[in-house]
Structure 1
Amino acid sequence: MQVRRFEDSDRAELRLLFERAGQGSPTEALWGHADSEAAVYLDPYMELEPESLFVAEEGGQLVGYLTGCVYTVAFPSEDTRIAEALRRYRPFRTRQAVVFFGRSTVDALGATIRRKATAGEFDNSRWPAHLHINVAPEARGTGAAAGLMNLWFDRLLTEQVPGCHLQTLVENVRAVRFFERMGFTAHGETPAVPGLRYRGARVHQLTMVRSL
């Protein structure tokens, strides 16, 4: 297993890995349109901060990746990225996208009426960096994820960043346990995520932080 920095020649293979790395997790598919989802959760990191993107490789094949941002406030927000991706790709021709965004609207409206918080981005100067990590099913438990995370921590230490955060789901038990082993702790509330369901039930956002 080799973990290393992203190279421009990895683009095509990384894009294919993006589509399958989350298999079996609660976020395996969001609205079911790979191009527009990649335009939110992968492409901006390749374009805007490739020095914070790391990959795991085994047998000449990419099996995992970590996308990061040293200072979240300097990166386009998730809402901005989603809006741009929807304008560009117009994925609403698929039933899954119609259901997801329709349910998102209903969930958000219901939360507003009940005065309940919903999932959102995290902004705290103690943990200004953020990351996303995905490993293909065949590479889970091999040390690939830990290797990627350690490269990310090294970058943050080099940049003298005080801490980082990530956002996962309470229901993604395997991921939560891994993040705890890597030194992250839960922080704040666990609001529902509009639109998203796992095994027919609502899911809840979990923010986790780690100081450096």
Structure 2
Amino acid sequence: MIKIEAFDPQYIGALFSISLATGHIGGDASHLYENSELMGLIYSAPYAALEPSLVQLALDETGPLGFVLGAVDTDAWENRLETEWWPLLRSVYADPGPVPQPEWTLDQRRVHMIHHPTPVPAEIKDRYPAHIHLNLMPHAQGVGIGSRLLDGWLEVIAAASPEGVHVGVNRQNSRALRFWAQQGFTELAPPLAQSARTVWMGRLLR
């Protein structure tokens, strides 16, 4: 039986594990990284640390299968990361350089993101201020758990009444693109980002 529950700090390790297990076009990225924590440090752990009320887990008898998390005001969230999250990580991981280089490892590229995070395009944040991340272990995908996680998260943020919510999807992840389209998200095309690796998708909430 699959349960959707509020985040419990005892499962912080699962956020790291799931982030890595879904970090390569929705599949396992563990063979690509020397540092198994980088994906979680960027994409899931900051939410557990700074906004745990907006983190929910899908669990069965074996433990967490996936998570959903995000923020209702992306602009404020990016500012908060800059003051409360990135500085500590920058003191631990040395900046590999201001401009990504072709010969960099994936670890170096992720550390570059810590030192030089790219903000979500303003035209997306203005219309769709909330953002969401939803990750499921590969064996738990395609059986309706993602829809349950999304519905539960939207209920949690309803009181904040954001105008809309956006998600960034890897352009090569066709399964994720189909999922978000089925959930009422449409592809957005902000200037300067149309050829990027990330496909921005949004859904109006009011």
- The TM-score normalised by the length of structure 1 is 0.73
Does structure 1 residue 211 correspond to structure 2 residue 198? no
2:137 counterpart residue number? 136
Aligned identity (percent) is 23
Tell me by how many angstroms 1:126 deviates. 2.4
In structure 2, stretches of 5+ residues that fail to align are: 97-103
Separation in 2, partners of 1:33, 1:77: 26
Per-residue CA shift, 1:60-111, capped at 9, x if unaligned?
A: 411101121111111136995667535423497xx7247747x99xxxxxxx
Separation in 2, partners of 1:171, 1:16: 22
CA-atom RMSD in angstroms? 3.2
1:89 counterpart residue number? 93
Per-residue CA shift, 1:32-77, capped at 9, x if unaligned?
A: 5222332211121011111111111122411101121111111136
1:35–1:89 contact (8 Å) kept in structure 2: no
Distance change in 2, residues 1:120/1:48 (3 Å):
closer
Which letter maps to 2:3? Q
Separation in 2, partners of 1:27, 1:96: 17
- What are the equivalent positions in structure 2 for 1:44-55 lying under 5 Å apart? 44-55=46-57
1:33 counterpart residue number? 35
Distance change in 2, residues 1:174/1:82 (3 Å):
farther
Higher strand proportion (structure 1 or 2): 1
Does structure 1 residue 75 correspond to structure 2 residue 77? yes
1:184 counterpart residue number? 185
Aligned length: 186
- The TM-score normalised by the length of structure 2 is 0.75
